[in-house]
Structure 1
Amino acid sequence: MGTQAPSSDLQNYNSKTVDERSAKEKAIDDWLPITSSRNAKWWYSAFHNVTAMVGAGVLSLPYAMSNLGWGPGVAVMVISWIITLYTLWQMVEMHEMVPGKRFDRYHELGQYAFGEKLGLWIVVPQQLVVEVGVDIVYMVTGGKSLHKFHELVCKKYYDNEGHPHCKKDIKLTYFIMIFASAHFVLSHLPNFNSISGVSLAAAVMSLSYSTIAWGASVKKGVKDGVEYGYKAHSTPGTVFNFFASLGDVAFAYAGHNVVLEIQATIPSTPEKPSKGPMWRGVVVAYIVVALCYFPVAFIGYWMFGNSVDDNILITLEKPTWLIAMANMFVVVHVIGSYQIYAMPVFDMIETVLVKKLMFKPTWYLRFASRNIYVAFTMFVAITFPFFGGLLGFFGGFAFAPTTYFLPCIMWLAIYKPKKYSLSWIANWFCIILGVLLMVIAPIGGLRQIIIQAKTYKFYS
């Protein structure tokens, strides 16, 4: 398909973006989280991508299958895996398409493709919605998993009179606050490389709880009277649930929003560009993604049919100790995932504060800005903990553009492949599917949020 950089105006572009940086600008770049460290290994790419990709989404895949049905569900899962691997390859290739220049951030690539101002307006709002949206959903997921762990432990242990040790149920709000407390500490790690240990632990946890989810489902066996028909009893309900579940699947393939930022941490020379080790890490990550997603989605749906919950670990009640452990694995994983998605947001915030508002790059500026961000995501999560609806809404509204078709549009704009060539056809196929996904998935997700909101009491 060709990955040679377009030759026009490269020299002008390089001279403007690289050679004219002052010592002060270089010092600021060395302070900002994305560009401060470039000594990552290829396996950093692997577990960062696994942590970014496999998360809350995998637990909702059996539920998505129950609303999609066997045929459409399997097709959507497999096609999404192929398309997102292709668009991820495009982004890895485009990271250094201009000799001597690295597009360290998603919006920098957008600015090169669409122009300085238009590129910023096209990419930044969508990327922010994705990254902030994921962090909010992970706040909810972390809190709910802690709550479920507490509930399971309380049920398992009883006093001499046969009563559970936990006399009083604790509100979900408090569990979300407990989960957030970890981020008030971890958010002060300066850059991607500094969270590599957290990310590695999260990647291991994702594979572990995914294995528990499908393994425990197999152990439990096919539910008596299992039904594979659509969950909703009305045609409008079936259609809207179908739309929302497309968003659930889109949410599960979310790593593109941080891939350039991850690649920015890998060293690069003309002889050994960063795309080599980065792509090796991506391939390993996508093999792990397949090992997590497909067994959980297909086995979970096969065993429970349309009675499965929007989080399969809620459906699995026994063995108690194993499901409790799986919920704690989820907590550890989403702690790492939150940090992966928060890091580009921290970079944007700190760039604006230092480069636009001219604040000095100090530790207390970073301390204040990052704590405010964590507090904001915690507050929104506590206020709107609609897990299933949030997945569908954010999955369609923002993940579809940045994951499914924005890389293809940038590829067409920059490389200009020949009309009706394989590259041209493949990109337009992804664009059409991605746009359809972006239009219809948020409709179903928003409907789920509205339905759940009718019976929800704030801060309960």
Structure 2
Amino acid sequence: MANFVNQNFQADVDESGLEIQKDANIAELDDDGKPTRKGNVWTASAHIITAIIGSGVLSLAWGVAQLGWIAGVTTLVVFSGITYYTSNLLSDCYRSPVTGKRNYTYMEAVKNNLGGRMYMACGMVQYVNLCGMIIGYTITASISMAAIQKSDCFHKRGHEAPCSVSHNPYMIALGILEIFLSQIPNFHKLSMLSVVAAFMSFGYSSIGVGLAFAKVISGEGKGTTLSGVEVGISISAAEKTWRMFRALGDIAFAYTYSQILIEIQDTLKAIPPENQVMKKANFMAVSATTVFYMMCGCLGYAAFGNNAPGNLLTGFGFYEPFWLVDLANCFIVVHLVGAYQVFSQPIFSAVELWASKKWPKSKFITKEYFINIGIVKKHKLRINLLRMIWRTLFVIMTTLLAMVFPFFNDILALLGALGYWPLTVYFPIQMYIAKGKIRKWRWRWLVLQVINLVCLLVALAAACGSIQGLNKALNTYKPFEVKE
């Protein structure tokens, strides 16, 4: 582990294996003996936005095109409301209502509210989903990097020029950068990175919206329909159905961040109560996200009609001004670099906590090494061998997997379909029912179960669409060949 710490602080390890910092002033510690949490509604909102607004926002025009104006807009609004509601339910699970004890992770909240079996099931789904997201971000970031090179090529040689670019060098470069950033110890140290990444997400979304809006008002917009892409010579009824399933899934999963919500909430100050602050952050982040999703989806559909590209920027819906497209793709890369860290921190923490409990006396796991930084020696670089080695290996493995499976986005869509319902809907609702001791067949129980069922059906439909897309990708699969 490496982070900058003031030399007046000394590292130590508590009985649970978690790192704490000793200081003469006891006020520097929270009620659980850990360093005082300093997060607030703004930092929590930044973490959420960094996690929730991925470059997938630029594919929403394609999603709306498959569903049409009525179903597309309705789906965006409905899943925004569902995500906000279930996230608030999950926020109330951070502390035990009886003892006030914190649940530091999503899995811990499930264990203390629903028991050991649910705990194991949650862990399996959560960490597979997180690993999938991380590999998907590596691929998506490399696509944006390659898009910059292709954009410059199209500008110089014409829009029809054969500007093929390999993604592998960009994946390797991203992996090297993430090795260094992965030494950031925990969520508490990610605030600035998340703020920068959140601004980047607004930046490229705004550029995509602006370019689409300019295309519409210039009179170059394409024809649209209430029902979206129409069945005809170019698309069969079966293909239309598969696309609608995938579009439903894409929109639903675009709002997902529940798998890291408890970890984000654990960065907040104890006063005011964390659940109240988190609910405000949920509202701010989901509201801002919905506005951008509506603009990107609707304006993108109005600009390109039923032929909307899968990504407004990397799919070259726009060629000019090329420098603005390049800037937007730069923003995407910076955002995904931050999002990679937001989604990887729960994995890092879980492995390191397990190791510290398993071998509490191992110097390899617990010992901290200090290196002076700068001439003044005011700060020190603190290194932990376990964190440095295992996190480096993790980044290397995810980068290699991204290079081996060029169609991994289809696998990611499947993982998202399987992970969305339990993590965003099922577990929060079941914990709320258990905490509130809500009886079966009461009106509130019935409403919660209806939400549960609807989201399960959407997840199953999206999984079917993802499998169909994965089957197509496998037909042209070539390892390590990621070129467009």
Partner of 1:429: 450
Q: CA deviation at 1:317?
A: 2.0
Match of 1:201 among 182, 196, 209: 196
The residue correspondences of 1:9-88 to structure 2 (distance < 5 A) are: 24-26=14-16, 28=18, 30=20, 38-88=37-87
Question: Could you say what secondary structure the match of 1:102 adopts?
Answer: coil
Alignment partners' CA distance in 1, 2:176 and 2:36? 27
Please, what TM-score do these two structures have when normalized by structure 2? 0.83
Question: Could you say what secondary structure the match of 1:46 adopts?
Answer: helix
Alignment partners' CA distance in 2, 1:53 and 1:167? 34
Alignment partners' CA distance in 2, 1:157 and 1:23? 58
Amino acid at match of 1:238: K
Alignment partners' CA distance in 1, 2:183 and 2:13? 25
Match of 1:184 among 174, 179, 193: 179
Choose 347-356 or 100-109, whichever is displaced more: 347-356
Please tell me whether the aligned partners of residues 28 and 361 of structure 1 are also in contact (alpha carbons under 8 angstroms): no
Match of 2:251 among 246, 249, 252: 249
Amino acid at match of 1:267: K
Please tell me whether the aligned partners of residues 63 and 309 of structure 1 are also in contact (alpha carbons under 8 angstroms): yes
Q: CA deviation at 1:400?
A: 2.3
Amino acid at match of 2:299: I
Partner of 1:331: 333
Alignment partners' CA distance in 2, 1:397 and 1:252? 14
Please tell me whether the aligned partners of residues 143 and 178 of structure 1 are also in contact (alpha carbons under 8 angstroms): no
1:308–1:456 distance in 2 versus 1, CA, 3 Å: farther
Choose 215-224 or 106-115, whichever is displaced more: 215-224
Partner of 1:107: 107
Partner of 2:150: 151
1:154–1:233 distance in 2 versus 1, CA, 3 Å: closer
Q: Please list every run of 5 or more consecutive structure 2 residues that lacks an aligned counterpart in the other structure.
A: 1-11, 22-31, 368-383
More strand by share: 2
Amino acid at match of 2:479: F
Partner of 1:216: 211
User: Is 1:273 aligned to 2:273, yes or no?
Assistant: yes
Partner of 1:365: 386
Partner of 1:6: none
Amino acid at match of 2:309: D
Amino acid at match of 2:457: L
Partner of 2:287: 287
Q: CA deviation at 1:379?
A: 1.4
Please tell me whether the aligned partners of residues 249 and 395 of structure 1 are also in contact (alpha carbons under 8 angstroms): no
Q: CA deviation at 1:175?
A: 1.4
Amino acid at match of 1:321: W
- Report Cα offsets for 1:80-122 as digits up to 9, x if no partner: 000000001011112124332111101111111221x213212
- Report Cα offsets for 1:281-316 as digits up to 9, x if no partner: 222212211221111011111221221222121222
Question: Could you say what secondary structure the match of 1:30 adopts?
Answer: strand
Q: CA deviation at 1:140?
A: 0.8
Q: CA deviation at 1:438?
A: 2.6
Amino acid at match of 1:349: V
Q: CA deviation at 1:72?
A: 2.1
Amino acid at match of 1:408: I
Partner of 2:396: 375
Please tell me whether the aligned partners of residues 112 and 119 of structure 1 are also in contact (alpha carbons under 8 angstroms): no
Question: Could you say what secondary structure the match of 1:403 adopts?
Answer: helix
Partner of 1:410: 431
Q: CA deviation at 1:219?
A: 0.9
User: Is 1:352 aligned to 2:354, yes or no?
Assistant: yes
1:394–1:449 distance in 2 versus 1, CA, 3 Å: same
Alignment partners' CA distance in 2, 1:430 and 1:385? 35
Q: CA deviation at 1:30?
A: 3.3
Partner of 2:405: 384
1:395–1:72 distance in 2 versus 1, CA, 3 Å: farther
More helix by share: 1
Q: CA deviation at 1:226?
A: 5.8
1:322–1:169 distance in 2 versus 1, CA, 3 Å: same
Please tell me whether the aligned partners of residues 204 and 329 of structure 2 are also in contact (alpha carbons under 8 angstroms): yes
Choose 203-212 or 273-282, whichever is displaced more: 273-282
1:157–1:237 distance in 2 versus 1, CA, 3 Å: closer
Partner of 1:258: 260
Alignment partners' CA distance in 2, 1:29 and 1:230? 58
Please tell me whether the aligned partners of residues 180 and 374 of structure 1 are also in contact (alpha carbons under 8 angstroms): yes
Q: CA deviation at 1:50?
A: 0.7
Q: CA deviation at 1:418?
A: 4.0
Q: CA deviation at 1:126?
A: 1.0
1:167–1:56 distance in 2 versus 1, CA, 3 Å: closer
Q: CA deviation at 1:211?
A: 1.1
Root mean square deviation of aligned Cα? 2.6
- Report Cα offsets for 1:389-435 as digits up to 9, x if no partner: 24531221112221123211221233222445453233112210121
Question: Could you say what secondary structure the match of 2:18 adopts?
Answer: helix
Q: CA deviation at 1:388?
A: 5.2
- Report Cα offsets for 1:169-216 as digits up to 9, x if no partner: 541111122222221110001111212111101100111111111110
1:339–1:317 distance in 2 versus 1, CA, 3 Å: same
Alignment partners' CA distance in 2, 1:23 and 1:191? 15
Please tell me whether the aligned partners of residues 197 and 336 of structure 2 are also in contact (alpha carbons under 8 angstroms): yes
Question: Could you say what secondary structure the match of 1:312 adopts?
Answer: coil
Partner of 1:304: 304
Alignment partners' CA distance in 2, 1:386 and 1:75? 30
Alignment partners' CA distance in 2, 1:351 and 1:230? 53
- Report Cα offsets for 1:44-86 as digits up to 9, x if no partner: 1010111111113212211122222222222221110000000
Alignment partners' CA distance in 2, 1:37 and 1:64? 43
Please tell me whether the aligned partners of residues 136 and 409 of structure 2 are also in contact (alpha carbons under 8 angstroms): no
